[in-house]
Structure 1
């Protein structure tokens, strides 16, 4: 019997070793599953406490459970760059308890997608931030991290995978086009991701985010023949850029270029304007990209004037 037990133990040890060798994240995967079991137990707890127990409130004797409920659904997608040097480094960061950061998805430069958390769980990716009146972004959003050190361009394979993933999420959870945003949009005083090379215009053309009409006239209205066409292939994303946007160091003083104040326009889009210069910079990182500063040029104001009305 002892020999049999020893053989069984040996097989168990070998199985663990083989499992760990096959997947370097096997130990943290086990922790992940354990946390899921704990959360599942919490969901199964039925209110209120059984009759006769000490309770803070005056519960009725009979518990009546509603038949009309479901799981919460995400309504925002927040896109990040990892600001790290490799996808392995990011995966390690998201599996260390001490870091207290995570994301639902990580997409490598080669287009490989790692789903690290069920969409319906709350990941810790947004931190302190705000979009519109929502100040608890993590509870309402899905976080997607793109393997990028913060300065380089995003690869075509990476963007192609992102577009496929966004299409799935948009369809599955009926996420509005305007609710595909960046980390810098929700946290303009702290974050600058995804970086200025990110193809927001392409995403908007595909239905993930909004974009201004091009070209626009002197007061920010779309000219006849403005292009809002879709159908650009993922492999062509690099051709959709803002390189043609005029640049200027001057701050516009022309009130006719914007129907409302910049603060009101930015607030309508969703930005937290408590720190207005930071909000302007975040807006330009997303929609202008060729010059990311706190100045609003004539062109910037025309873009803002055209764009904020799409969020009304």
Structure 2
């Protein structure tokens, strides 16, 4: 009897999940259709009782993403993340989810504006959601990322960067674009391995001990040059160290950190 009771509960949960995804799929198609129709015509605007003239040009294409922002889900499972992105009230989404076993699931068309980066900035870009693809890795932030997960992330990055011609330096983390607000992917994320595969940037570690910093070297300007928002310098430093020196996390720069910044500037100037 107890087994039957548990079975009924399980079936109810499965049915509920299917209903959630069915509703989400229907809403996705409806919203995409409305969006498509809105692109069919240019609705002339009126400014101070003056109507803007409309003459349609035949020379256009869809806007393409130019950044990839990597996250960790901070949830207990891929299934929980799927539900979070499928439910309307959460108001969050991402283009891809990669599970611990390497399973890759796409949840938004690449050309759609996902809601994954929030209040964010990188270099002169102040709205990352509008120009980026979001990739969520199933991870609670306290565990290592699996081999299958990173291997398939690299495979996905190969596909996306080739398809949209995304520069390798434009593959960044949520913490990079939202310092002080976000810390994902965690300090356990293997940025160096990604860079060795051609995605993201890293510094030449063989030069770390021998590099001599010029007395005029400005580490704050270097942080800004790389892309960090330095309006809150301590937050920017912490996010920088989370990415490039995660074993020595703090909100102050050490001599090692300054050398890393110098070498990162070198790498970016080569591109």
State if a TM-score over 0.5 links the two structures. Answer: yes
Q: In the TM superposition, what is the alpha-carbon distance from 1:153 to its structure 2 partner?
A: 0.6
- Alpha-carbon RMSD across the aligned residues, in angstroms, is 2.2
* Structure 2 residue 160 is the aligned partner of structure 1 residue 169: yes
CA distance in 1 between partners of 2:188 and 2:227 (Å)? 22
Partner of 1:302: 259
CA contact (8 A) 2:65 2:133 kept: yes
* Structure 2 residue 221 is the aligned partner of structure 1 residue 279: no
User: 3-state DSSP class of the match of 1:290?
Assistant: helix
Q: Superposed, which structure 2 residues align to 1:17-32 within 5 Å?
A: 23=18, 25-32=21-28
* Structure 2 residue 50 is the aligned partner of structure 1 residue 57: yes
TM-score (norm 2): 0.87
Residues 34-78 of structure 1: CA distance to partner in whole angstroms, max 9, x if unpaired?
A: 1111111111123448xxx9x943445xx5311211100000000
For this pair of structures, how many residues does the alignment match?
Answer: 254
User: 3-state DSSP class of the match of 2:50?
Assistant: coil
User: 3-state DSSP class of the match of 2:97?
Assistant: strand
* Structure 2 residue 221 is the aligned partner of structure 1 residue 264: yes
- Bigger helix share: 2
Shift in CA distance, 157/310, structure 1 to aligned 2, threshold 3 Å:
same
CA distance in 1 between partners of 2:216 and 2:72 (Å)? 34
CA contact (8 A) 1:101 1:125 kept: yes
Give 2:107's match in structure 1, choosing from 96, 116, 134. Answer: 116
* Structure 2: gaps (5+ residues): 1-14
CA distance in 1 between partners of 2:257 and 2:215 (Å)? 10
User: 3-state DSSP class of the match of 1:94?
Assistant: helix
Q: In the TM superposition, what is the alpha-carbon distance from 1:300 to its structure 2 partner?
A: 1.5
Higher Cα Rg, which structure: 1
* Structure 2 residue 136 is the aligned partner of structure 1 residue 140: no
TM-score (norm 1): 0.76
Give 2:171's match in structure 1, choosing from 162, 180, 195. Answer: 180
CA distance in 1 between partners of 2:231 and 2:265 (Å)? 18
CA distance in 2 between partners of 1:264 and 1:152 (Å)? 33
User: 3-state DSSP class of the match of 1:64?
Assistant: coil
User: 3-state DSSP class of the match of 2:159?
Assistant: helix
